[in-house]
Structure 1
Amino acid sequence: MTKIGVVILNYIEYGITIDCINSFCRQTDDNINVKIIVVDNSSPNESFDVLQNEFKDNLNISVVKTPKNLGFANGNNYGYNVLKEYMDPDFVIFSNSDIILPENGLYKWILQCKNDYNFGVLGPSIYSINGDFYQNPIRSLTTNKKDIEHMIFDLYKSLFKIRIKILFRKKGKRNHIEKWSNTDYGKFHDDLTLHGAFQIMSKEYFNKYKEAYDTGTFLYMEEDILRLRCIKSNLRMIYSPDFIVHHLQSFSTNSNSLNNNKSAYFRVKNMLNSMKRYKDLLEGE
């Protein structure tokens, strides 16, 4: 029997997470053994207690809580390590908590893709409900070291400008859903980067890497580093549009200018740290 693990990372928004988990529970296949690990990433609210109580009678679901907010990569790694206590999975699905599976057939699709393409990492079509566009695959980051150095310099400049805005309480921009012209979503690809909202890793991937994601980031660029891993290890990163998931992305509309600037500072600071990590990996750290 094929063993498939699912890791879902929750932070604060437990209502959306419950909907996500229930959409996984509607996936049925008698030949698949599924274990779902829900990781509450040390939410500063009642998330852990609510989720634990909601699924306490379902033996296929375990809810755990990290000792502190570990970020995206290490939060998912935490869930993967818990999963290994229950099974030696053939595949592991890493899903954002705001993902909804609108149809059955997920596991059949995974097995078919494995048979056809022998992937290391697999990604489906991801449709952003609020952004109204297809997010997968994403634009691949350059591997040119000089270009990366220029990007790092630009991020330092952005960080300085945001600090000035915070200091003088200048108006900041609201968060928004980034959109791009995606002409690749309807085609099969094995040479592009996969969006991090929903990724499937095979046993072949974990034969090469102990952890799902590089431990050197808190947030951002996990997809780019994952692609770099696959390139270096000759693992196939496959995009197949034959299965679709819905991404519910949303942002607060009542944030003030100061909070917008602080949020921007947080994003750019973490992007900078991740970009420096990416550069280190390019240089063969």
Structure 2
Amino acid sequence: MIAFVILHYRAADMTRKCVERIKALEGDKKIVIVDNASPNGTGQELLDEYAEDSEIKVILNPENSGFAKGNNMGVRWVQENVPADFVVVLNNDVEILQKDFCPKVEAIYRRHSFDVLGPDIISVFSGIHQNPKSLHGYSLESVRKKREKVARTKNPILLLLSSGEKNSPAIWKRVQRRRRAKQCIDSSIPTEGSVLHGSCVIFSKRYLKKHPEPFYPKTYMYFEMEILDWLCRKDKSVVRYDPSIEVLHYQYVSSKQEYRSIVKRSKFVIDCLLDSLTAAEELILESEAEA
């Protein structure tokens, strides 16, 4: 069996579409929807709607605890209630089109025995292939450098420029293509040890047995996968990217409902990212102190 954990916030129609696609997949499945305290009441709406569907479980989180804790809640429920061999954690704005997605995941595991797996993630917004995010993980030095760089973008002029860049598909596509070319990232080639994108990530039962809550809980949003990569490298877990499985990612659906202003949305992203980078730095320092 494969379980799917969907983190829901506000955008009920997008969550329904995600669920509909999963239900059409081949194989034995369980779908867990974690509502992150949606203020528009859509969590209760989904709970009522799927109450009689034995394939779906809706969990109402009493508070919006962010990406890591919200997903950990769903993953923990799966492990306590469902004999799943794999847990697919995905945003509600991700669409799975391959009917044989589940058999493909199982076949990849038979060949490579992964702990964490990422599919080819195609951004509907820009057309960019979002996996792998990077071929190399972060060190303490690179975390600090990134934090300094992100902090500089809080300058009002830079914030405005960044907001416009990220909300123009054409500009953002060029920016991402340059970044990926600089790192020599080729999304058509399977890799091991690369940093994955967090909109859709697959955990094996083997990994979850050691790490029942896979995401580092001291973050709210952003940089979760870079921290997960660091933790996986530390305990020598197998992280694999395989383009034979693929999904579409619509991006920004929930955040656009929360923040109509692109500048406010960009400021929210920067503030969350700075907090996550601080958490990453503290985690690495604590680990080095214990070594």
Q: Normalising to structure 1: TM-score of the pair?
A: 0.87
- The alignment status of 1:112 with 2:114, answered yes or no, reads no
CA contact (8 A) 2:138 2:226 kept: no
Match of 2:200 in 1: 198
Match of 2:163 in 1: 173
Match of 2:70 in 1: 75
User: How far is 1:155 from its partner?
Assistant: 3.1
Partners of 2:26 and 2:137 in 1: how far apart? 40
From 142, 148, 169, the equivalent of 2:143 is 148
User: 2:218 is paired with a residue of what secondary structure?
Assistant: coil
User: How far is 1:192 from its partner?
Assistant: 1.0
Partners of 1:121 and 1:100 in 2: how far apart? 20
Match of 2:85 in 1: 90
CA contact (8 A) 1:130 1:248 kept: yes
Query: 1:195 corresponds to which letter in structure 2?
Result: H
User: 1:108 is paired with a residue of what secondary structure?
Assistant: helix
Distance 1:184 1:284, change over 3 A: farther
Q: Normalising to structure 2: TM-score of the pair?
A: 0.85
Partners of 2:221 and 2:263 in 1: how far apart? 18
Give 1 or 2: higher helix fraction: 2
Partners of 1:98 and 1:128 in 2: how far apart? 10
User: 1:85 is paired with a residue of what secondary structure?
Assistant: helix
Q: Which moved more, 1:58-67 or 1:75-84?
A: 75-84
Partners of 1:274 and 1:209 in 2: how far apart? 20
Q: Which moved more, 1:147-156 or 1:199-208?
A: 147-156
**Post-superposition CA distance 1:99-122 (Å, at most 9, x none):** 111121111111111111110001
User: 2:40 is paired with a residue of what secondary structure?
Assistant: coil
CA contact (8 A) 2:122 2:130 kept: yes
User: How far is 1:140 from its partner?
Assistant: 4.8
CA contact (8 A) 2:44 2:60 kept: no
CA contact (8 A) 1:90 1:203 kept: yes
CA contact (8 A) 2:137 2:226 kept: no
Distance 1:37 1:269, change over 3 A: same
User: How far is 1:172 from its partner?
Assistant: 8.2
- The alignment status of 1:157 with 2:152, answered yes or no, reads yes
Unaligned runs of 5+ in 2: none
Match of 2:130 in 1: 135
User: How far is 1:141 from its partner?
Assistant: 6.0
**Post-superposition CA distance 1:132-162 (Å, at most 9, x none):** 1211111256534333223223333333x24
After TM superposition, list the pairs within 5 Å mapping 1:5-16 onto structure 2: 5-16=3-14
User: How far is 1:282 from its partner?
Assistant: 2.5
After TM superposition, list the pairs within 5 Å mapping 1:214-253 onto structure 2: 214-250=216-252, 252=256
- Residue correspondences, number: 272
User: How far is 1:69 from its partner?
Assistant: 0.5
User: 1:242 is paired with a residue of what secondary structure?
Assistant: strand
Match of 2:18 in 1: 20
CA contact (8 A) 1:8 1:38 kept: yes
User: How far is 1:129 from its partner?
Assistant: 1.5
CA contact (8 A) 1:165 1:261 kept: no
User: 2:149 is paired with a residue of what secondary structure?
Assistant: helix
Partners of 1:279 and 1:140 in 2: how far apart? 20
Distance 1:268 1:126, change over 3 A: same
Over 6 Å off, 4+ runs: none
Match of 2:266 in 1: 264
Distance 1:262 1:209, change over 3 A: same
CA contact (8 A) 2:2 2:88 kept: yes
CA contact (8 A) 1:124 1:198 kept: yes
- The alignment status of 1:65 with 2:67, answered yes or no, reads no
Unaligned runs of 5+ in 1: none
Percent identity over the alignment? 27
User: 1:53 is paired with a residue of what secondary structure?
Assistant: helix
RMSD: 2.4
